[in-house]
């Protein structure tokens, strides 16, 4: 993990599968950001409200709780427009029109190396 001189940006990971959430957190930290974890959309919204340092939402689609990852992504797009959005899912038939504007979709399982560079380029842009 490389520490930057000023406080690093945070990435919010929303994933209900513990192993995958753990793996995503390692990946985000390897990319040089602070990983914040939520196991569902309700937790994610509570974190978003309290933490202004989140610059990117990294979410799964299928989750238990009041909303799925896609709805969460749309909500984030509306309420926190600057936050970048990455959606990952086992679903392969996701339509572009279902995506929030500017969001990126990656089918599971994703390639860790590629994902890290994608996250970096989205945040730095």
Partner 1 sequence: MSSVSPSGEAVDQSIASLGDASSLLRSLFASSGDCIKILDLDGNLLFMTEGGQRLMEVADFGKIMGCPWPSFWQGKENAEATAAVAAARAGRAAQFQGFATTMAGTPKWWEVHVSPILGSDGKPEKLLSVSRDITATRAAAQAREATERRLELAMKAARLGYWSLDFATGALTASDFSKENFGRGGSAEFTNDELRAAIHPDDRARVEAAIAHTIATGEDYNIEYRIVKPDGTPGWVMIRGQLTRDDFGKPIGMSGVSLDIADLKMAGTALVESEARFEAFAQAMPNQVWSATPDGLLDWFNDKVFDYGGLDFAALAGTGWAQMVHPDDIGAASASWAKALSDAGQYQTQFRLRRADGAWRWHLARALPIKDQAGAVTRWVGTNTDIEDQKALEAQQTLLTGELEHRIKNTLAMVAAIASQTFRTAATKEDARDIFDARLNALNKAHQILTSTSWTGAPLALVVEGALASHRSGEGRIKISGPTVQLPANKALSLSLALHELATNATKYGALSVSQGTIDVAWGCSNSTGSPLLHFEWRESGGPVVLQPTRRGFGSRLIERTLSSDLGGSVAMNFDPTGLVCKFDVKLSQLEAA
Report, in Å, the least distance between residue 81 CB and partner 1. Answer: 29
- Smaller CB distance to partner 1: residue 43 or 74? 43
* Interacting residues with partner 1 (CB under 8 A): 16-23, 26, 37, 39, 62, 64, 89-92, 107-110, 112
Q: Please give the structure tokens belonging to residue 1.
A: 């993990």
Beta strands 84-89 and 10-14, pairing class = unpaired
Which CB sits closer to partner 1, 26 or 81? Answer: 26
Beta carbons of 37 and 13 less than 8 angstroms apart: yes
Burial class (CB in 10 A: 0-12, 13-18, 19+), 45: buried
Q: How far is the CB of 32 from partner 1 (least distance, A)?
A: 16
Output the smallest distance, CB 62 to partner 1, in A: 6
Question: What is the enclosing helix (H) or strand (E) of 38?
Answer: strand 34-38
Q: Which is nearer to partner 1, 12 or 37 (CB)?
A: 37
State the minimum distance, in angstroms, from the CB of residue 78 to partner 1: 26
Complex with partner 1: residue 81 or 90, whichever CB lies closer: 90
If DSSP codes are grouped into helix, strand and coil, which group holds residue 110? coil
């Amino acid at each position: 993990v490389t520490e930057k001189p000023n406080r690093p940006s945070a990435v919010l990971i929303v994933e209900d599968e513990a192993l995958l959430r753990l793996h995503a957190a390692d990946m985000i930290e390897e990319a040089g950001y602070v990983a914040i974890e939520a196991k569902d959309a309700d937790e994610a919204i509570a974190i978003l409200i309290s933490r202004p340092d989140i610059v990117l939402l990294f979410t799964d689609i299928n989750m238990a709780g009041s909303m799925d990852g896609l709805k969460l992504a749309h909500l984030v797009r509306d309420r926190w427009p600057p936050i970048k959005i990455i959606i990952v899912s086992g679903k392969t038939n996701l339509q572009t029109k279902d995506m929030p504007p500017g969001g990126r979709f990656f089918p599971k399982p994703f390639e860790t190396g590629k994902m890290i560079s994608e996250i970096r380029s989205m945040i730095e842009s």
